Chain A
Amino acid sequence: GQQLNQSPQSMFIQEGEDVSMNCTSSSIFNTWLWYKQDPGEGPVLLIALYKAGELTSNGRLTAQFGITRKDSFLNISASIPSDVGIYFCAGQLAVESNTGKLIFGQGTTLQVKP
């Protein structure tokens, strides 16, 4: 199936540092979503993006829908210990619009050292 390449796979950072992660594909997407999964839980939606170039914030989180529609970025500013978890990008391919299909990236595992 189609692939979303998410990087980095894992990050170990100091509390207070900023974090960046991204997802790329060779295909065009019409929606990008960013989720966070806490240990032992299901993913929770953080940010949804619907238009190329769109920049959206949710507290200390900011995500952007890439201009080429083939990538998206998530930034976390001033990280805190509760940011620990796995972050997933997800998206819908433009060729699959009007379906309910969703593709997830492999995830970025974030660890924050107090």
Chain B
Amino acid sequence: EAQVTQNPRYLITVTGKKLTVTCSQNMNHEYMSWYRQDPGLGLRQIYYSMNVEVTDKGDVPEGYKVSRKEKRNFPLILESPSPNQTSLYFCASSPRGYTDTQYFGPGTRLTVL
């Protein structure tokens, strides 16, 4: 089944404890992107990747890192999480770019205490 998977789905952590949210797609898509969703703010793009080894900042990249060493995986890394990074995170992928249909993962709800 064609899908985008994220792990974990739920995570409660403490300030400063490094964490990684994994994202994987099995559709051989070139484009992948991370978003955070907060009430009243919609979705905001954190980072995106047009292809392997190519990553660029979105609207709210501060406090986040990403890597794209292989086509299928696009992990989101929080080196030192803070409470303002408590949010619902979505990974998405599309064949070539944002204008293609983006397939979103199920979301990761992160709470930083």
A interface list, Cβ under 8 A from B: 1-2, 4, 6, 9, 31, 33, 40-45, 48, 50, 88, 90, 92, 99-107
Query: What is the interface of chain B, defined by CB distance below 8 A to chain A?
Result: 4, 31, 33, 35, 40-45, 48-50, 56, 58-60, 90, 92, 97-99, 101-102, 104-107
Contact of A88 among B42, B50, B92 (CB under 8 A): B42
Secondary structure dominating the interface of A: loop
Chain A residues closer than 8 Å to B92, beta-carbon distance: 42
For A6, the chain B residues whose CB sits under 8 A away are 42
- B45–A106 contact, CB under 8 A? no
Bound complex: CA A92 to CA B99 (Å): 9
Our pick among B4, B31, B42, B102 for the contact of A45 (Cβ within 8 Å) is B102
- Do residues A1 and B60 form an inter-chain contact, with CB atoms below 8 A? yes
Contact of A100 among B33, B43, B104 (CB under 8 A): B33
Residues of the A chain whose Cβ atoms lie less than 8 Å from the Cβ of B35:
104
Q: Which residues of B contact A48 (CB under 8 A)?
A: 99, 101
Q: Which A residues lie within 8 Å of B99 (CB)?
A: 31, 33, 48, 50, 92
Measured CB to CB, the closest approach of chain A to B42, in angstroms, equals 4
A107 CA / B41 CA spacing, docked (Å): 8
A-B contact pairs, 13 of them (CB 8 A): A9-B40, A33-B99, A40-B107, A42-B4, A100-B31, A100-B48, A101-B56, A102-B58, A103-B45, A103-B59, A104-B42, A104-B44, A106-B41
* Residues of A contacting B42 in the complex (Cβ-Cβ under 8 angstroms): 4, 6, 88, 104-107
Q: A1-B60, A42-B92, A88-B43 are in contact. Are A102 and B33 (CB under 8 A)?
A: yes
Which residues of chain B come closer than 8 Å to A33, judged between CB atoms?
98-99
- For the complex, give the distance between the alpha carbons of A103 and B41 in Å: 11
Do A45 and B101 contact each other (CB < 8 Å), given the known contacts A99-B56, A100-B50, A100-B56?
yes
